[in-house]
Amino acid sequence: MPVITVNWWQGNDRRARKELVAGITDVVTRVSGCPDDTVTVIVRDVEPDHWGKGGHLADEPRSWRGPR
C-alpha cells in the first residue's frame, strides 16, 4: 500500500494535479505490481515563501539564479 507525497509550488491547477496523480499511480503500479486502488498520492501546495533552497527563500529575487 504505497503512499507518495509530492510537495510542489502553489499555483498548479486541478488538471495538473489530476495528471500528476494519474502518472505517479501508473508508474507505481507498473513497477510494484500492486493494484492502482492501493496507491495513495498526497499533493501539497507550498507557497514559495515557505520553500527554501540554497539558503534562500524561493520568492527572493536573485540575479544569479539562472534557468530553473
Confidence category of residue 11, pLDDT binned at 50, 70, 90: very high
- Please confirm, yes or no, whether 2 is among the known catalytic residues: yes
Q: Which of 37, 46, 45 is nearest to 2 (CA)?
A: 37
Chain-centroid distance, C-alpha 43 = 6
The pTM assigned to this predicted structure is 0.80
Residue 66, pLDDT above cutoff 60: no
Q: What is the mean pLDDT of the chain?
A: 92
* C-alpha angle 50-56-60 in degrees, rounded to nearest 5: 75
Length of the chain: 68
Domain residue ranges of the chain, discontinuous segments joined by +: 3-47
Q: In the CATH scheme, what architecture does the domain 3-47 have?
A: 2-Layer Sandwich (3.30)
3-state helix, strand, coil in the chain (%, to 5): 35, 25, 35
